[in-house]
Chains A and B, each alone.
Chain A
Amino acid sequence: MEVKLDKRYPLDVEPARAWMVLQDVRAVAGCMPGAAITEQVDDTHYKGTVKVKVGPANAAFGGDIEVLALDPAAMKLQLLGKGADRSGSSASMNLTAHVEAGDTAATSVLVGEAAVIVNGKFAQFGGRMMSQVSDMLLAQFADNFRAAAAALPAPQAAPPVASAAAASGAPALSPAPVRELNALGLAWGLVKNWCAGMFGRRT
């Protein structure tokens, strides 16, 4: 099952700080609920895990992440993640994300496009909720991303963009705690969104 995502999240930090987070694969992973980087293989290859639990579909994906492109000038990151779960699911994600300038100098927009393919039990059981779950997941991701960016030192103190890209041991980011996506909380979120949709449609 393939889900295509095309999202824009306005951020209340200026582009430079947003890019600081985006160029750091570990930090990006840290913003994703349930995800973590477990090992860096080389400059562009990482190993990581993602835990997701949606109703009967419970998956702990372990796999490889490859940074396909990291373009400081365009503030753009492209990565490919591929993983499998022991209980019979597999997933891949091709993600392109970049930071755009916002309406004011102090704001920016995180723009992401992703093609996610899931196979196996996760697609079978979770299939009908895939796009809603992705929306929820990404909304949480955006919140964490915002928080991570805001926690960085203020703009004047931030190092220039170009050097930040090269510095692997750059400023200590404070990613949100890694916790698996909460099934109950998520279910409630889905119900809330669904109800909002029901009533919202008529207005």
Chain B
Amino acid sequence: MNAPTDKGLERIAALAGIGEPRLRKEDARFIQGKGNYVDDIKLPGMLHMDIVRSPLAHARIKRIDKSAALAIPGVHAVLTADDLKPLKLHWMPTLAGDVAAVLADLKVHFQMQEVAIVVADDRYIAADAVEAVQVEYEELPVVIDPYTALAPGAPVLRDDLAGKTEGVHGKRTHPNHIFTWEAGDKAAADAAFARAPVTVAERIVYPRVHPCPLETCGCVASFDPVRGELTTYMTSQAPHVVRTVVSLLSGIPESKVRIVSPDIGGGFGNKVGVYPGYVCAIVASIVLGRPVKWIEDRIENISTTAFARDYHMDGELAATPDGRILGLRVQVLADHGAFDACADPTKYPAGLFHICTGSYDIAAAHCSVKGVYTNKAPGGVAYRCSFRVTEAVYLIERLVDILAQKLNIDKAEIRARNFIRKEQFPYTSAFGFEYDSGDHPTALKKVLAACDYAGLRAEQAAKRADPHCPTLMGIGLVTFTEVVGAGPSKMCDILGVGMFDSCEIRIHPTGSAIARMGTISQGQGHQTTYAQIIATELGIPSEVIQVEEGDTSTAPYGLGTYGSRSTPVAGAAIAMAARKIHAKARKIAAHLLEVGEGDLDWEIDRFKLKGDDARFKTMKDIAWAAYNRLPPGLEPGLEAVHYYDPPNFTFPFGVYLCVVDIDRGTGETQVRRFYALDDCGTRINPMIIEGQIHGGLTEGYAVAMGQQMPFDAQGNLLGNTLMDYFLPTAVETPHWETDHTVTPSPHHPIGAKGVAESPHVGSIPTFTSAVVDAFAHLGVTHMTLPHSAYRVWQQLKKSGVNL
């Protein structure tokens, strides 16, 4: 195609398609307070549910007395595990092949575990009734530390698994052991270490954190006893999977279960799982024949629904004296809490952790991940990242820094020496991932030049030379690779359902369109960006394309939105469905112009006769004709459905640089500069990408500088309110600078890779790299997250540089 003329450019602009910084369609309702969230839903006759929770982390339930609660006027039901037993719903299967208690049966396994539910006329009565339920406990020894959990003679947490030595992923070697999963070639890795002249090792702890979306979890369950139909409005990132699970658990045919995810105020992995609250609200609605609403409060959200991380990693690198990495070995102890409710593709109990060779060409690698039960809430979701990718990237980026320090090689230089070279793509890693595309050296050069890296190093040297300098200056650098877009169904499934995604497009006679998707936006702006893909593919202005998601009764089956999979998987489904329509439109255009299909060229929004700009049919013309002037034998209408099973993952990458100044008196870390270059392949909407990156960097900053879920020896969670749990506001958030390169994915229909999670995955090790760098000249090689002022102050004291 020739370069577009001015007229052509105008037509391209009118479409607001791929590459346009189109304003978000969602914002009109959100900024006016007209969003429709689960808690906005009020159904006639609706009752309210609240949950009685355990104050203890490990205890036997001796007695539950619900009489006082039932005596309160307005209380309709109090249900315990015993009430769920006849329905066999007191335990439920988890995504990870374990079972989780819906309501505590005989024993509580973590603090705030669900023990009973109360259903009442309003939330206030329900809260009062919760306090009136008397539960008598017999305290049991508590296990919080994952290493202690596997010690011989440690208290056994899961009585229900007694004698079960065979787990879903192989032998269980201890009553508190869940699985041991390995990847890579151990012999090759050991051999690399045996002959390597240089090795480094570090225990890298990634503490337990929580995604903490602004909207907590909740649902409104409404069972119609006459029709036998169940409708549930739910904060779910995967409504179709929830429908399947609900149908399997309840025995209600999937065709009579409708799950609706309305507007969702952030998910970040927290809203992937099926929680006891959902199950109980559904049971209560079925039992009482009335709608039942359950909305978590903040403390319940942070305490019980889906934590992330809690990985205790022993990592080692083997290298040559000039910093060429020869091998990687990792042993992880993964604290999964009381039930294994990790959200991972079925075959991968440690998710895609084996991306931990990162952006580097490492010939030999081996990792082993051991899952363990402790008296903490279950979960293990991917907090704004693909499955366990944050942990993997954190590990390799820390180890590379440590190696650079040991060899006294600059951290930018050592990375450049180990990059997978551009010509090596597609590159197969030692763990077997096939990286689709990348260009790390270009990205690194661009960032170093933009930030005047040499100048920063000179400034740092001058400051280090001055004993009176009130601050320590640190420079962090990370060159990460993510793996997203799960995933190819030959490798990835959830409960046996392949991880494809879907799109259904229907063009109306007047040329506007509706697209229905298997994903669900939680703030990603799908209504905006999905329409842009269709606009470019079909030449219809994105303004007249409606995007609908989240209602299982209307949307095609999809696996949902998490792990940056919407663009890599659903975005591809859109392009493929649009191309089916495009092919039919070409037939119609040829018929209308009375020429052969081969005589036509596609140009922006129309089919035109080759070499004759005056004879064309626009997509709008074709849409009308699709309903009245079709070629013989072609069925009327203009619509298509596509279920896209990706051939591979996509591998977004980036280079992040951070400069911090640490106050030697207080330990306060000031982020002076943060420069984020992302390569997510084809960029659909640069404005939305920038917003996503800002959000991801801010959440990365939160994790790096303050987020943590600390437990005391009795299993009390000491950080479950926003008084303790760090959620940065505009006051704390640093200024972000963004940049990009574009290396399209060769296997994706539009070359896009996904972007929302890269900034989270990439920024956390960058902050650590910067904070540790401030102490590097004092011999410090690693500091454990989070880098709060108090902890940094402790390091200042330890290093003897506190003012």
Which of A's residues lie within 8 Å of B, judged by CB?
Answer: 1-2, 84, 86-90, 117-121, 123-125, 127-128
Contact = CB atoms under 8 A, between A and B. Distances in A.
Contact of A86 (B57, B131, B724): B131
Nearest to A122: B55
B53 A123 contact: no
Given A90-B56, A125-B721, A120 B712 contact: no
A95 to B, nearest CB: 18
A87 B712 contact: no
Interface residues of B, number: 21
A88 B304 CA distance: 15
B132 A120 contact: no
B111 A2 contact: no
A2 B718 contact: no
Nearest to A92: B139
B713 A88 contact: no
Contacts of B299: 124
Interface in B265-302: 299
Given A2-B712, A119-B56, A119-B714, A124 B721 contact: yes
A61 to B, nearest CB: 12
Contacts of B55: 84, 88-90, 119-121
B720 interface: yes
B716 interface: yes
A127 B717 CA distance: 10
B134 interface: yes
Closest CB pairs A-B (n = 10):
A120-B55, A123-B716, A88-B55, A1-B712, A86-B131, A87-B131, A127-B718, A119-B55, A1-B716, A90-B55
A86 B134 contact: yes
27 contacts: A1-B712, A1-B718, A2-B712, A2-B713, A2-B714, A86-B132, A86-B134, A88-B53, A89-B55, A90-B55, A117-B714, A118-B716, A119-B55, A119-B56, A119-B716, A120-B55, A120-B111, A121-B55, A123-B712, A123-B714, A123-B716, A123-B718, A124-B716, A124-B721, A127-B712, A127-B718, A128-B724
A119 B142 CA distance: 12
B133 to A, nearest CB: 9
Nearest to B715: A119
A89 B54 CA distance: 9
Interface in B9-57: 53-57
A121 B131 CA distance: 12
Nearest to B716: A123
A124 to B, nearest CB: 6
Given A86-B131, A87-B131, A124 B718 contact: yes
Q: Which has the most chain A C-beta neighbours within 10 Å: B54, B56, B712?
A: B712
A132 to B, nearest CB: 15
Given A90-B137, A117-B714, 11 more contacts: A86-B134, A89-B55, A119-B55, A119-B714, A119-B716, A120-B716, A123-B712, A123-B716, A124-B716, A127-B712, A127-B718
Contacts of B54: 88
A118 B712 CA distance: 10
Interface in B45-89: 53-57
Nearest to A91: B55
Interface in B496-553: none
Contacts of A84: 55
A125 B111 CA distance: 14
Interface in B72-122: 111
Interface of B: 53-57, 111, 131-132, 134, 137, 299, 712-718, 720-721, 724
A86 B299 CA distance: 18
A86 B55 CA distance: 10
A28 to B, nearest CB: 25
Contacts of A128: 718, 724
A84 B134 CA distance: 10
A124 B723 CA distance: 11
A102 B799 CA distance: 45
A1 B53 contact: no
A1 B713 CA distance: 7
B726 to A, nearest CB: 14
Nearest to A90: B55
Contacts of B131: 86-87
A87 B55 CA distance: 9
A95 B716 CA distance: 22
B721 A1 contact: no
Contacts of B720: 124
A127 B716 contact: yes
B714 A1 contact: yes
A88 B114 CA distance: 12
A128 B57 CA distance: 19
A63 to B, nearest CB: 12
Nearest to A87: B131
A97 to B, nearest CB: 24
Contacts of B714: 1-2, 117, 119, 123
A89 B112 CA distance: 11
Contacts of A123: 712, 714, 716, 718
Contacts of B718: 1, 123-124, 127-128
Contacts of A121: 55
B113 to A, nearest CB: 11
Contacts of B134: 86
B155 to A, nearest CB: 16
Contacts of A120: 55-56, 111, 716
A88 B56 CA distance: 9
Nearest to A55: B723
A90 B108 CA distance: 15
A84 B712 CA distance: 19
Contacts of A1: 712, 714, 716, 718
Contacts of A124: 299, 716-718, 720-721
A50 to B, nearest CB: 16
Nearest to A120: B55
A119 B375 CA distance: 14
A89 B716 CA distance: 10
A89 B724 CA distance: 19
Contacts of A119: 55-57, 111, 714-716
A2 to B, nearest CB: 7
A2 B131 CA distance: 25
